[in-house]
Structures are given as C-alpha cells and as structure tokens.
Chains A and B, each alone.
Chain A
Amino acid sequence: MGEMNLLKHELRLLFRQRLTSLSLMLLALLTVTSILAGIAEVDRQRADIAAIPAAQNEDISAIASWIDEDKDPGSAAYYSFHPTWDEPSPLAFAAIGMRDVSPYILRVRALSLEAQIYDGDTFNPELALPGQFDFAFVLVFLAPLFVIVLFHDLVSGEREARRARTLEALPRGGRALWRRRSALRFGLLWLVLAAPFTTTAIIENVGAAPIALILVTIAAYLFFWVGLAALIDRLRWSSVANAATLSAAWLVLVLIVPTLANVAINRAIPVNQGTEIAMANQEVVHGAWEIPREDTMERFYANHPRWSDSEPLGPDFHYKWYFAFHQNGDEAVAPQARAYRQGLEGRDAHARALGWVLPSVGVQALLTRIAGTDLTAQLAYQDRIRAFHERLRNFYYEYLFYDRPFGKDDFDRAPRFGSS
C-alpha cells in the first residue's frame, strides 16, 4: 500500500468512530457559527458608522440655522458636536476584542477634551460579562478540548483494545503509524478551523499576510495541545486518566492562570488616575471664573503664542476666554492623563509578556493585535480623536480670536474626521 492509500485507509477508520466524526462536525459548526456571529457584530458596527452622516447633518443644520442669525463663532463652537469613529478592520470579525465595551463612535466638541475622551457608548454590561462568542474564542477556548477528545486515546485506546502490540509489529506500524494518525487528526482539526476562517477572510478582503499569519497561529496552537497530549500519553496511563489530566491542564492553562494573572497585574499596576483626571480638570476649568480673566489668557497665550495677537478682552463675556480656560484645563491634567495611559499600557505589556509563555493568552493577544481590536488599537483611536480635536480647536479659534463671523457656510468648512 502506498502512503496515500494508507492515509485514505486511516481516514476511513477515523470516520468510522462516531465520537471523532461527531466532534469534527461539532467543531465545524461552532467555527462557522462564531464567524457568523462575528460578521453580524462587525456589520452592526459598520451600519452604525454608516448612519452617522445622516444624523449629524440633521443635528448640525438645525444648529446652523439659529447660529446664522448672530453668526457668533463661540456659540457655533460650543453647540456643535463633531463625530469621530473607529471603523472595524477587515479582520475584526475573527476577534472582536474590546470593541464590544469601548466606543467606536464618539462625538466631541472644541471644549475640554479630557472631560470627553473617556466617555463610553451604550452597551449592556450583562451581555458583555461572559465575553464575545467569536472565532478567537472557538480557537483559544474550545479547539484544545477537541484536541483532547481526538488525542487522549490515540495510543492508550489501542492498548486497552489489546491491539497496540500487533499494530507496532506491523510494517510501517509503531511510531510511523502513530505519527500518521496524529498528523491526520491534526490536519483535520486545522482544516475545520482554517477553511471557514480563510473563506470568510477572503470575502472580507483581509490581506494575504494576516491570513497566513493566522493560519500558522492556528497550527501552532493546535500543535501545542497535540504535543501536550503526546507527552501525557508517554506516561502510559489509561485513556480515562489521559482525558482527565488533559482537561485539568486545559482548565489551568486557559481559565485559571489567566484569571490569576489578571489579579496579579492589576494589583501590581494600580490605575486610579481616571477619576483624578476628571475631577482635577473640572476644578481647573471652573476655577477660571474666580481668577482674573487676564491670567487665564496669559497662561493660554504662553502655550499658544499663535493666537496672542488677538484683541485684548473687553468688559463683556467673550467665548475666546471660555475656550482658553477649557484648553488650560486639559493642559493642567496632561501629566495625569499620561500616567493613566502609561498604567494601561503597562498592564497590557505584562499580559502580552505572559502570552509568550502561555499559549492561550499569546494567541488571544496576537489575534486581537492583528485584528486591531485590542487596547493598543483603542489608544490609537484616542490619539486620532486627540489629533482631530486639535484641528477642531484651531478651526474655531481662527474665528474666535479674530472675531470673524461664523455663518451657515462656515459649518461646511469645519474639519472632518478621517480626512486631513
């Protein structure tokens, strides 16, 4: 018999076992379901983002119509919210990551950004609690269990059926046989995970490199669990003991160590600056009403000399003073905001470091990184919001600091997120 025929024969044997074929079908079903769920979620997010312009136009044109009467740039800046959004990447369907709990749409005004940038969107916390059912979950959590089902009795099963000795004595038996059977099971598992993923990824226009990287990741992760099963098998325990030991290992590696590490990391790097930023910012911003207005302007012009040739303040209220103290408020808490961000990055870096030794965490980190759905991606979105907010400020300041009237048409000149 040639190698091909041998494999065919083994395949027939494999599918004759009800447990094996059922397991593979179940894994296929779960993979496809998880991908469909991921696609549904990403489509929902895309639809939400696509619905922004209509709502935004309605909102802004209503504001523009009454602003147009006095043409006051301060009121225009104060009342206009500008949308920002974080489009899901083509690969986001495979690993939703933080996109279910972090906003992917945020409207900001030219007022203090520190009081706006940490806002969230509406989501149901009870639905978010157990975590998303996406491809990453099927791969990280469920696939190892299928490895256990298919591999726990690979050799021990034959031993218990008293066929092992005969099989080892056969030509191309023994090691070669176990290798063949292992490769076959491994290949089938990989195929069941990889085929639906690759098909969807191609439809979603994911590039070849990320697809290849994920296909290798799937193989490597499965290989880790197959290797673990092979190690346990060398102890020559019974099939039952193998299954119990492997599932205990799964429990420890996939559930217990990550949760323990989470406690340890959050303990090691406390992040409490969030509320401090919000409260300190509010204190500085509203404290401006109690200090001479010239002090506020002086401090503002010192940091932003670009506007310092503006007319001095008159006795009346002027919005340029109002916006200046809002910006002063942001700048006063900049160190805390940086520390806050560093805290988050520190926690993330520790978790990633754990990923190098713990495959479950490593795969999850890698998938959410490639899919652009992790903390790094969230912070990058915040950076884009910050840059856009800067443009917004400069746009309105042109009018505010030089007392240029702000009419209906000027609303169309406002910077738009995503274009530069």
Chain B
Amino acid sequence: MSAVRLIARDELRLMARNRVAVIAFVLLVLLTLVAVASAWSHQRNIAELRERNAHAAESAFDRQPDRHPHRVVHAGHFIFRPLGPLAAFDPGVDAFTGNSMFLEGHRQNTANFGDVRQSSLLVRFGLLTPAFVLQVVAPLLLIFLGYGVLARERERGTLRVLLLQGAGRGEVVGGKLLAVGTVAMLAGLPAMIGFALIAGQPGALVLPMLTIAGGYLLYLALWVLLIVLVSALVRRSLDALLALLALWVVTVVLLPRLAPDVAGAAVPLDNRLQTDVAIARDLRAMGDSHDPDDPYFDEFKQSVLERYDVGTVEELPVNYQGLLAMEGEQMTSKLFDQYADKSYNAQERQNWMVEWLGVLSPAISVRSVSMAAAGTDFAGHRRFLDQAEAYRYELVQQLNRLQAEAVSYADDIAEDPGADDRRRVAAANWAKMPDFGFRPATSAELARAAVPGLLMLVGWLVLAGLALASATRRLGWAK
C-alpha cells in the first residue's frame, strides 16, 4: 500500500475514534436527509398546487359566457410560474418572488403571494434545502474534522517523526488530503440522493444536474484544500481551528449578506410608483387617448381610413374601436417593455456585482452555480416575467382583434338598452385563445449560465492548490 493511502487510512481511523466527530458526521447525514425529503415534498406540493391553480384559472377563462371582448380583456387571466424539478435541490429565489400573476389589458401587474411575505420571521434564517446544507453546513463539518490533520502532528512532534521515517512531504500532505477528501465525499453523498429522486421526474435535465454536482464537488474540494492548507501553515491546532472558523464565517455567512448591500447601494432601482408615473408621462407625450382631437390619434385614424380607402370610420369593414384598442395596447406595452427591461437590467447588474464579489467568497460562487443551473435564479424568474408579458400582450391583442372583427362599430358605440347584448361575442371564442405555457430554459442554457461561477471556483481551487504546494515544500521546517 502506498504511503499516501496508509497516512489517509490512519487519519480516518483517528477520526472514527473521535466520538464528537462521528456524532457530528451522523447529524450532518441526518440533516441532509431531512433537507432532501422536505425540499422534495415542498417542491412537489408547490408544483401540484400551482398546476391545479393554473388549470382552475384556464377553465375559468374558457368558461366565460358570451361577452364583449373588451370585458374579457379586463376580466383578465391568472397564470402561475411552474416550479422545475431541480428546485427540489435548490429553490433559489422561488420563495422571494411572487409566483402568481394577474394579466389584464393596459396594465402590468406584479407577481404576488411569494412565500417570503407569507412565512414567519424564521424564513430569513435560511431555507433548509440540500443546497443550504452543502453550501453552509458541510464546510463547517469538514473544518471540525480536518483542522488538526497537520497542525496536530506538528504540535505533538509526530510530523518530524513521520518525515524522519522516510515519508515524503508530498505523501504526508497527499494522505491528509485523501482523508479529508474522503469525508467530504461521504458528507456530500446524501445530498446526491436528492438527485436520484429528482432524476425520476419529467423535465429533469441531465446536463444541469451534472453541472450542479460538479459545482459542489469543486466547492467541497476547495474546502478540503483550504483546511489542509491552513493546518499546514499554522503552529497550533487551536489557531488552525480559529482561522478556519473565521474564514468560514467571513466567506459563508458574512460576505453573502454584505455583497447584496453593496450592489443595492451601487445600482439603485426605481420603485413602482415612480415607474408608473413615468409610464403615464411618456404615454401622455405620445398621444392623449382621452382627447378626441389629439394629433397622434387623429393621424392614426387617417392612416386607417387610407389603408381601407374609405372616408369615415363608419364605412370601415372592421370595428374602429377594436383597432383603437390594439393601437393603445401596442403603445402601452412598448413602454412596459422598455421600463421592465430597464429594471431587469439594473437587477442583473446588481447580481453581476454580487457574482464578482464571489472572487472573495466561494460560497457566493457555488450558490450562483447552483441556482443558475437549477433555473431558480433571477434569470429564471425573469424568463417567467418576460414570457408572461409576451403572453399577456398576445392574448389582449387577440381579444382586441376579435373586437375589431366580430363586433360592429355601430353596436359598439350604441347606447340603447339592447346594445349590450348585441355587442357580445360567442363564448366558444374564449377556449380558442392560447393557454399560457412556460417554456423552461434548455439544458445548454442552464449549464452555460453556471459557467462564470464554475470558473470562479476553479480559480480558487488553483490558487489554493498552488498555496498548498508551496506550503508542502516548507512543511516540517523548524521554526
């Protein structure tokens, strides 16, 4: 048996004899299993609930009686963001964003009923998921088990003995790495059980799952390196423990909270009131739909009359009110898109800043890898918001077109008691309207989004590896 494996076996045997270490390890495994089970069932419940709600909303929409199409525009439609299977591993921002949205004409509503506003204050302590266990708890366990691997040997003078007996420095360090690495693999394994559950579900994508697994592998490997490195550098094991704890607190607890504050202060977001007022202002500048003599709408009317080669709106083969509604919707939607893009881009800039602060904290990097590949990051939510707006626009315009084609202009502007019934369009039309179907990101898109974070982790790994190599060369020199 090689010296490396002998040293690793000895170290593991020592750990196994440490009762506290064994208890901590067992607790971690149990915690992971609880996290896997609860996150999985939570994801299943939410996914089912939203699917049920989506069906109820669709059938409510389709069941509408004979109605004026503009009534249907205002009666609106509820849609729900589905939760992908990988959210059972890392739900990301799901709890922090609303998941249901009310779509209607000329208005863009917020996504409402997010868990964060519906849960007790405990939700801000963190969410118990496999991702949380691997990002936060697992490194701490590795620190407890590994801080002394070299520091202890040096403190007790056994390191000198090992080296005198002919073990190479590289072999000693390699053995210790192997031992701590083995523990890391064992600690990470239960979380991967969650993957087995997820893999059985429809829509579970292989490449993103491999990306996530790879990200956590790099992350835990990095901690193994850092632990052995610190243990090699300091003189006393107590110092090694305190230094590693400090490193953990700063990179895992402190920086992930501090970074968003920095990004939030650097890139401010407009609030909804300011945005709504700005949109109304821009709309007034384009044309005033309440003013019958407004130049913009006058010009629009002229262009319609010319297109159909008629003299008055009454002579048009289509209902002018419907055309007007389409034009108005197109104007407001353009502004909605413009302002939403501005806000989303600002949020992406904020996230990008946080991601760069991952240079200082591998926990930030692994979190972004995990969320990005699971499709539960801001980009995933934005996908939903963008598709929701596109669908809203499409639906409203189809209804407006129906108004233009199936309701006569004369009926539309009539005010006699019977007019209301004449304006109604057959109920069969509602079921013909498209249903909202969320198109999730493709496997390749998800994996690609994780690349920056993965590179950041690899960078850390290389640096830690180089530092360890240099520390290994100086190992055991008398001070």
Q: Which residues of A contact B (CB under 8 A)?
A: 19, 30, 33, 37, 40-41, 44, 48, 51-52, 55-56, 58-59, 62, 66, 81, 83, 97-98, 101-103, 105, 107, 115, 118-133, 137, 141-142, 145, 149, 153, 239-241, 243-245, 247-248, 251, 254-256, 258-263, 265-266, 271-272, 274-275, 278-279, 282-283, 286, 289-290, 315-316, 343-344, 347-348, 350-352, 354, 360-361, 364-365, 368, 374-375, 378
Contacts and interface: CB of A to CB of B under 8 A. Distances in A.
B276 A81 contact: yes
A60 to B, nearest CB: 10
A126 B351 contact: yes
13 contacts: A48-B274, A58-B281, A66-B291, A101-B116, A128-B116, A129-B260, A130-B260, A131-B124, A247-B144, A256-B128, A265-B119, A315-B415, A350-B120
Given A129-B93, A245-B20, A289 B67 contact: yes
Nearest to A70: B290
A119 B277 contact: no
Contacts of A122: 269-272, 275, 343
Nearest to B49: A272
Given A66-B290, A101-B96, A127-B350, A132 B257 contact: yes
Nearest to B126: A259
Contact of B125 (A255, A315, A316): A255
A206 B336 CA distance: 41
B238 A240 contact: yes
B239 to A, nearest CB: 8
Interface stretch (B70-78, B162-170, B437-445): B70-78
B260 to A, nearest CB: 4
B120 A125 contact: no
Contact of A153 (B119, B238, B284): B238
Contacts of B241: 240, 243-244
Given A122-B270, A255-B126, A258-B125, 20 more contacts: A55-B274, A59-B280, A122-B271, A129-B92, A131-B257, A132-B124, A132-B261, A142-B253, A145-B249, A240-B148, A255-B136, A259-B127, A260-B128, A265-B119, A265-B122, A266-B115, A279-B53, A354-B122, A361-B121, A374-B121
Contacts of B117: 98, 101-102, 120, 378
B9 to A, nearest CB: 23
B190 interface: no
A124 to B, nearest CB: 4
Q: On chain B, which size bracket covers the interface? A: 35 or more
Interface of B: 20, 24, 31, 34, 38, 42, 49, 53, 56-57, 60, 65, 67, 71, 74-76, 78, 80, 92-93, 96-98, 100, 102, 109-128, 132, 136-137, 140, 144, 148, 237-238, 241-242, 245, 249, 253-254, 256-258, 260-261, 263-265, 268-277, 280-281, 284, 288, 290-291, 343, 347, 350-351, 354, 371, 377-378, 381, 415-417
B76 A282 contact: yes
A143 B167 CA distance: 43
A247 B238 CA distance: 13
A30 to B, nearest CB: 8
B378 A126 contact: yes
B148 A37 contact: no
A279 B354 contact: no
A282 B102 contact: yes
For A33, A62, A262, which residue has the most chain B Cβ atoms within 10 angstroms? Answer: A262
